Amino acid sequence: MLTGYENTLQILVLGACLAVSIVRAVKGQSRVWALLSMFFGAFFLGDLYWGLYILFYGDTPYYSYIPSISWDTSYIFQLLIILHFQRHGVPRYRSLLLWIIPVFTVGMCAVYMTRGDYLTNAFIAVIATYILLYTVNGLLGLRGSGGEDARLRPLYLVTILFWVLEYAMWTVSLRWMGETMANPYYWFDIGLTISFILVIPAVRKAEA
Amino acid sequence: MNYIENIFICLTAPLIIAIIVRPGRGRRMMSFLLAGMTACLLSSYISTFLAAVNGADLLQASLTIAPAVEESMKLVPVLFFLMVFEPSREEAAGCVTMTAIGFATFENVCYLIQNGAAQTVHLLIRGFGTGAMHVVCGIIVSIGVFRLWGRVWIRLAGVIGVLSVAISYHGIYNLLVSQQGAAAVIGYLIPMFTALLGAVFVRNLL
């Protein structure tokens, strides 16, 4: 029941975010808002399929190709949004600290592969590495910069927040603690829902 | 036994003749109608094969495997056309729609052969629902492909992206129409409603 409520909340929020971004894409003829619509749309459809399947069959789908494809696609669009804003180049922040990202994503991928399928987890590891490298590099490159690129800071922060919450959710769900609010999975998923709302002002500021 | 190949031959024979004898723009449109029907035939083979490999029953196959296979197959002739002939947006949009119509027509005929043609109201709803769903998926793909047909990496990511959006949309439709009562009616109405919305917004997006 709790999963159903939480899933419904996320679907409603994503639906609202999708509507806002579609209206902006159509009004402004803007590629970045079209990409954001695709990001929200893909995640929304994945959630909707997942929610409807649970509603009709009382269980998660045995073959979860379709929601997985949708969620993975939303990550592609998130990467495209980041790349769109970095198309004119960003200051490169070269540091050994950045190696933490691939070490973390590949390590977590190995852990998740013990439970899930190889292809999806490998894909997520690759795309998460790219997104986090671009955003963390961009964020570190902005340090002390009060210039034009500083407008990208909220977008970088909300993207990093999104991925921290995704990884937290996946990790917590390895040891399922049941459908109770004591299960941190639900809190992380609510945080993820909030991060969707935060994406809109972040993109608006980045575009300004 | 459906004898799907025999149905395919009967439906496509006049089309093939028309494609051979008729010159001009009409030939291209009919070619894509034929491509849509062919994509539907091949999809049924591939879905059946994948269902057998995965040990999925008919319901599981229609909910999880068929949407991915069908949308991918529908995209193949369109991608070929875009990459080889580099058409204008209007030309390509027409071809995407014709492929979707060909696919939906062949699927509806197979449904009729399998389930009979006695229930007019149900077939009316199903015919419009399925037709609208395939056209809407085609439009989703066209909008994405045209808006993201930029640099190579955007093109690749964009095609994969819009394809998966179409797959999910198709999957949700199949999930809803596999139910009884209100859920099925909602399932049939969603594509028609989306098609109406598309009629309002699509000119701005294409």
Q: What is the pLDDT of residues A116-167, one digit of tens each?
A: 788 889 999 999 999 999 999 888 877 665 666 788 899 999 999 999 999 9
Position A185 pLDDT exceeds 80 = yes
Beta carbons of B131 and B195 less than 8 angstroms apart = no
Position B187 pLDDT exceeds 70 = yes
Largest CA distance in chain A: 54
Task: Provide the residue count of chain B.
Answer: 206
- When pLDDT is cut at 50, 70 and 90, the band that residue B103 belongs to is very high
Which range scores top for mean pLDDT: A2-16, A76-90, B117-131?
A2-16
Position A105 pLDDT exceeds 90 = yes
What ipTM describes this predicted complex?
0.80
Strand intervals (E) in A29-171: none
Q: What is the pLDDT of residues B19-67, one digit of tens each?
A: 988 777 788 889 999 999 999 999 999 999 999 988 888 888 888 889 9
Position B149 pLDDT exceeds 80 = no
Question: B184 to chain A: nearest residue by CA?
Answer: A56
Q: Read off the pTM.
A: 0.85
Read off the amino acid at residue A76: I
* Interface residue ranges in chain A relative to chain B, Cβ cutoff 8 Å: 22, 25-26, 29, 31, 34-35, 38, 41-42, 45-46, 48-49, 52-53, 56, 61-67, 69-70, 72-73, 76-77, 79-80
H-run or E-run covering A16 = helix A2-28
Read off the amino acid at residue B104: A
Mutation target to probe the B interface, by most B beta carbons within 10 A, among A7, A32, A49, A85 is A49
* Separation in Å, CA A54 to CA A60, A173, B81: 5, 17, 40
CA distance A134 to B66: 36
Largest CA distance in chain B: 51
Q: What are the structural domains of chain A?
A: 2-207 (1.20.1070.10)
Q: What is the mean pLDDT of residues B189-199?
A: 84
